[in-house]
Amino acid sequence: MRYPRYTDLAQGLPSTVPFVGPETQERARGREFNARLGANESGFGPSPAAIRAIGEAARGAWMYGDPEMHDLRRALGSHLGVAPEAVMPGEGIDGLLGYLARLLVAPGDAVVTSDGAYPTFNFHVAGYGGVLHKVPYRDDAEDPAALVAKAAEVGAKMVYLANPDNPMGTFHGADALAEMRAALPEGCLLVLDEAYVEFAPEDDLLELDPSDEGILRLRTFSKAYGLAGLRVGYAVGHPELIDAFNKIRNHFGLGRVAQAGALAALADTAHLARVQGEVEAAKRRIGRIAKANGLTPLPSATNFVTLDCHGGVTRAKALVAELGKRGVFVRMPFAAPQDRCIRISAAPEAELSVFERVLPEALAAIG
Amino acid sequence: MRYPRYTDLAQGLPSTVPFVGPETQERARGREFNARLGANESGFGPSPAAIRAIGEAARGAWMYGDPEMHDLRRALGSHLGVAPEAVMPGEGIDGLLGYLARLLVAPGDAVVTSDGAYPTFNFHVAGYGGVLHKVPYRDDAEDPAALVAKAAEVGAKMVYLANPDNPMGTFHGADALAEMRAALPEGCLLVLDEAYVEFAPEDDLLELDPSDEGILRLRTFSKAYGLAGLRVGYAVGHPELIDAFNKIRNHFGLGRVAQAGALAALADTAHLARVQGEVEAAKRRIGRIAKANGLTPLPSATNFVTLDCHGGVTRAKALVAELGKRGVFVRMPFAAPQDRCIRISAAPEAELSVFERVLPEALAAIG
């Protein structure tokens, strides 16, 4: 008899990673990158108050975190103008997407997303045996009408939309989202991944409405708050759905250190505003560098700029590789036709200067 | 149609927590506990080097952690004398138990544990639809022979044993474990939870043997290393089983801050030795306090002492409540006949003095 006896589902899954980390590439090339522009991390760093809070929490790290995350849920509720019962913090959006898939997806269940959208969502859906149905991007944006139509066609339990979108940086305003919500087939949950929401037009966001059972919003401290390495995200939605996470989540999963860091980061609104300003300036700079080298920056409502390299996937892949050889870590979209592009994270001046210096060399190398 | 459409499995699960945190009780009573002796946390704190490492990692917390956890796996492998491929760090033993249940347990699958053993294991097994079969403790210890017999009887995929045991503190030596392993039914995985292993007799531990597909060992930074609030545990086992975690785990789940703290804690062997010494002294002290008050301390191979209160569950529950009223947080076993006891975590002098002062009052209050 085979040891151990995996479930049929687990037995059939590939051993995979949604993303190869830059550290893996650094080990392969034998030295660190000079510019880390591939994971849309915030090189502007976390709030100094959050850094202090993490350091202080370290002394008390012998204590488990509050499994109810009382203070953090209250602070987030207050920040968002919703009840704490409408908020569920967790181990990053990745962790929360895993819990959500577990709650909703049984083998064979239909789920809809865009071809080339966030692969970790797909990883979790497939991991629970779900069947992914993908619709193409339209004009470099996810296509709400096509997503809704496909969801109706296949009887999807969930439809995923990242807004603003990763990897293209595009954004749908409040009206488009409200229209999508209204058109959703009955019983289909809209999973709205808002990892980049702090960079989107604030006056054009779909209002948060936890009385709506049909939408779950996901946000994070990994991007604008610069705490990707602390692992804190949160879901906002109907209190009944939010409470369902308690059936399955790792109750002590968000530790004392993570909760303290997130609380302090949330309170430092001045730091967030500073980062938002720096990101806008960095995106303009990336745009100028791109244009000076014959690449076209796409409009971005995120903390990165996607650059059209005016070729196919082969050209974009070669450029990513050549940039990597020159110490610049970037990534690119997975699916055509978006994979004609590369994606550059907003970053401080020093790293963008490295990018500016090596981009012409990398382009020359691919000819 | 109901929103959202949960899986049948999720729909049937209770909204539950395996443990109520002390913070919940503190909010209910309106003030903090004076002595936190209920969760077997290490009041002796984390290594100062780990505290520094966490504080330094906080500055770089804008970066995701290495999803391959390369350095931590190597360091753990070197520490344990096994290959890095035999080690999988994760979000605490709790998180790893969840992944393990997901890999092995399909609805209806049989799993064996002891009645009154770690409830979070049960939570995860039930969460994937597994059927738990429980055998009683024997002489206040988990009963390997009974566990093996039950596993054979029900065709279990997994059998759980905490060694040293929580909540009773008892320990089975290398020979007993080897005998249990040899008697395991074919295809049944022994899940050996060694959260407290650093407090057990070092020369009587079952040797680590990652060539054995039949055992998975689980260890943690939450107890002896004093990092419960950082959420780092690790599994040690056959590289094929270890690799299977990659099919389903949250690859970026162990953040940069957690990895840095664990690495530094592991390297500070002097701090670990100091804590081990302090814990032994604290356990002797708890024993003296107990005896002076007519309670009987059980032998302990952990960082807590279980005290026989010489009554039934009602008396033990009342004592836990009375101690709580007096600012001392303790917990007690869940199942009879162990639930005649209360469980006191080893802690620094100041907290044990509080315990010493209020125990006679609490005993007087319950009569």
My answer on whether A31 and A136 are in the same domain is no
B3 vs A10, A105, A213: nearest CB: A213
**Domain stops at, among A215, A249, A267:** A267
In a domain, residue A168? The reply is yes
Q: Which residues of B touch A256 (CB under 8 A)?
A: 228-230
A229 vs B6, B18, B64: nearest CB: B64
**H-helix or E-strand spanning residue A219:** strand A215-220
| pLDDT value at B1 more than 70 | no
C-alpha pair distances (Å), A14 with each of A17, A123, B222: 9, 10, 31
| pLDDT value at B16 more than 80 | no
Q: How confident is the model at residue B171 (pLDDT cuts 50, 70, 90)?
A: very high
Predicted local distance difference test score (pLDDT) of residue B3 = 77
Predicted local distance difference test score (pLDDT) of residue B17 = 75
My answer on whether B309 and B203 are in the same domain is no
- Give mean pLDDT, residues B24-48: 96
In a domain, residue A144? The reply is yes
My answer on whether A104 and A121 are in the same domain is yes
Predicted local distance difference test score (pLDDT) of residue B18 = 75
Average pLDDT, chain B: 97
My answer on whether A40 and A74 are in the same domain is no
C-alpha pair distances (Å), B16 with each of A67, A221, B19: 12, 27, 9
Predicted local distance difference test score (pLDDT) of residue A184 = 96
Judged on CB neighbours under 10 Å (0-12, 13-18, 19+), B136 is middle
My answer on whether A226 and A289 are in the same domain is no
Q: Is A112 left (phi over 0), alpha (psi -120 to 50) or beta?
A: beta
A157 touches B at CB < 8 Å: yes
Q: What is the CATH number of the domain that holds B341?
A: 3.90.1150.10
Predicted local distance difference test score (pLDDT) of residue B19 = 81
Query: What are residue B308's DSSP bridge partners?
Result: B296, B341
CA–CA distance, A82 with A77 (Å, rounded to integer): 5
- Give mean pLDDT, residues B4-8: 93
Q: Structural domain tally of chain B?
A: 2
Q: Does A104 sit within 8 Å of B7, measured CB to CB?
A: yes
Percent of chain B with pLDDT over 70: 99
Model confidence pLDDT, tens digit, residues B295-319:
999 999 999 999 999 999 999 999 9
Model confidence pLDDT, tens digit, residues A18-50:
788 999 999 999 999 999 999 999 999 999 999
Predicted local distance difference test score (pLDDT) of residue B31 = 94
Q: What is the DSSP string of A228-250?
A: TTT--EEEE--HHHHHHGGGTS-
Strand ranges (DSSP E) for chain B? 35-36, 87-90, 110-114, 131-135, 158-162, 189-193, 215-220, 233-236, 296-297, 304-308, 328-329, 341-345
B12 touches A at CB < 8 Å: no
My answer on whether A238 and A352 are in the same domain is no
CA–CA distance, B257 with B57 (Å, rounded to integer): 5
CA angle A313, A117, A288 (to 5 degrees): 60
Q: Does A51 sit within 8 Å of B54, measured CB to CB?
A: no
In a domain, residue B56? The reply is yes
Q: What is the CATH number of the domain that holds B216?
A: 3.40.640.10
- Give mean pLDDT, residues B329-343: 97
My answer on whether A341 and A352 are in the same domain is yes
Q: How far is B210 from chain A (nearest CA, A)?
A: 13
Percent of chain B with pLDDT over 90: 97
pTM of model > 0.90:
yes
Q: How far is B367 from chain A (nearest CA, A)?
A: 33
B301 touches A at CB < 8 Å: no
**H-helix or E-strand spanning residue A27:** helix A22-29
My answer on whether A260 and A281 are in the same domain is no
**H-helix or E-strand spanning residue A87:** strand A87-90
pLDDT tens over chain A, length 367 residues: 567 899 999 999 988 777 889 999 999 999 999 999 999 999 999 999 999 999 999 999 999 999 999 999 999 999 999 999 999 999 999 999 999 999 999 999 999 999 999 999 999 999 999 999 999 999 999 999 999 999 999 999 999 999 999 999 999 999 999 999 999 999 999 999 999 999 999 999 999 999 999 999 999 999 999 999 999 999 999 999 999 999 999 999 999 999 999 999 999 999 999 999 999 999 999 999 999 999 999 999 999 999 999 999 999 999 999 999 999 999 999 999 999 999 999 999 999 999 999 999 999 999 8
**Residues of B (306-335) whose Cβ lies below 8 Å from A:** none
Q: How confident is the model at residue B220 (pLDDT cuts 50, 70, 90)?
A: very high
CA–CA distance, A256 with A61 (Å, rounded to integer): 6
Q: Which residues of B touch A105 (CB under 8 A)?
A: 7
A250 vs B9, B94, B189: nearest CB: B94
**Domain stops at, among B267, B289, B314:** B267
Supply φ then ψ for residue A2, to 5 degrees. -75, 145
In a domain, residue A2? The reply is no
Q: Which residues of B touch A50 (CB under 8 A)?
A: 58, 61
The ipTM estimated for the assembled molecules is 0.97
Q: Which residues of B touch A261 (CB under 8 A)?
A: 58, 61, 257
Predicted local distance difference test score (pLDDT) of residue A19 = 81
A68 touches B at CB < 8 Å: yes
B238 touches A at CB < 8 Å: yes
Q: Does B214 sit within 8 Å of A104, measured CB to CB?
A: no
A274 touches B at CB < 8 Å: no
My answer on whether B27 and B140 are in the same domain is no
Q: Which residues of A touch B238 (CB under 8 A)?
A: 3
CA–CA distance, A73 with A89 (Å, rounded to integer): 7
In a domain, residue A13? The reply is no
CA–CA distance, A64 with A254 (Å, rounded to integer): 9
CA–CA distance, B301 with B204 (Å, rounded to integer): 11
Q: Does B9 sit within 8 Å of A68, measured CB to CB?
A: no
My answer on whether B56 and B202 are in the same domain is yes
CA–CA distance, B68 with B75 (Å, rounded to integer): 13
| pLDDT value at B273 more than 90 | yes
My answer on whether A75 and A27 are in the same domain is no
In a domain, residue B13? The reply is no
Predicted local distance difference test score (pLDDT) of residue B116 = 97
- CB count in 10 Å sphere of residue A312: 12
Q: Does B222 sit within 8 Å of A256, measured CB to CB?
A: no
**Domain stops at, among A202, A236, A267:** A267
Cβ–Cβ < 8 Å for A332, A339: yes
A66 touches B at CB < 8 Å: yes
My answer on whether B229 and B296 are in the same domain is no
Q: How many CB pairs under 8 A join A and B?
A: 301
Enclosing domain of residue A357: 20-45+270-362
| pLDDT value at B152 more than 90 | yes
In a domain, residue A90? The reply is yes
Supply φ then ψ for residue B247, to 5 degrees. -70, -25
Predicted local distance difference test score (pLDDT) of residue A84 = 98
Q: How far is B310 from chain A (nearest CA, A)?
A: 30
In a domain, residue A284? The reply is yes
Q: How far is A224 from chain B (nearest CA, A)?
A: 9
B62 vs A228, A250, A253: nearest CB: A228
Q: Does A244 sit within 8 Å of B15, measured CB to CB?
A: yes
Predicted local distance difference test score (pLDDT) of residue A271 = 98
